[in-house]
């Protein structure tokens, strides 16, 4: 497990996203209620970052991740693309837990 640098889990509000650079890869972190989701910041369609603006990964309704490049929508619960050119594909997700005020992510297969 890797502790994410510069991420204070308890400072993040509900439905807030942050990005974090770990081992040369940018990750997207989302908090929803007491659930945490961590994904590689890479659209499965083109392999490019999802966002243009720092820490801005959600659609206008704040219901899904959105790829700013072509508008694909992804469920944040499992990374499944539900609309767009990569429909049916998934964002790469990493298991995570919050322990003692730190966000720990399993990145063994990065």
- Domain assignment of residue 110, yes or no: no
Average of per-residue pLDDT across 85-108: 91
- Domain assignment of residue 50, yes or no: yes
Domain with residue 54: its CATH number is 2.102.10.10
- Domain assignment of residue 25, yes or no: yes
- Domain assignment of residue 55, yes or no: yes
pLDDT tens digits, 78-90: 999 999 999 999 9
pLDDT at residue 102 is higher than 90: no
**Domain span including residue 87:** 2-105
Average of per-residue pLDDT across 31-49: 93
- Domain assignment of residue 64, yes or no: yes
- The total number of structural domains that make up the chain: 1
DSSP track, 42-94: --TTTSS-S-SSTT--B-TTSSSEE-TTT--EE-TTT-BEEESTTTT-BPPEE
Top pLDDT among 108 and 100 is at: 100
- Domain assignment of residue 85, yes or no: yes
Average of per-residue pLDDT across 50-54: 95
pTM: 0.92
- Domain assignment of residue 70, yes or no: yes
**Which pLDDT score is estimated for 110?**
59
């Amino acid at each position: 497990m890797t502790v994410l640098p510069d991420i204070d889990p308890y400072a993040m509000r509900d439905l807030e996203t942050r990005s974090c650079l770990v081992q040369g890869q940018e990750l997207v972190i989302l908090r929803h209620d007491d659930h945490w989701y961590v994904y590689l910041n890479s659209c499965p369609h083109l392999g490019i970052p999802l966002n243009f603006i720092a820490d801005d990964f959600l659609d206008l309704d704040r219901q899904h991740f959105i790829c700013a490049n072509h508008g694909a929508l992804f469920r944040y619960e499992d990374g499944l693309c539900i609309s767009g050119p990569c429909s049916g594909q998934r964002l790469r997700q990493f298991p995570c837990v919050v322990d003692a005020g730190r966000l720990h992510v399993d990145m063994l297969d990065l």
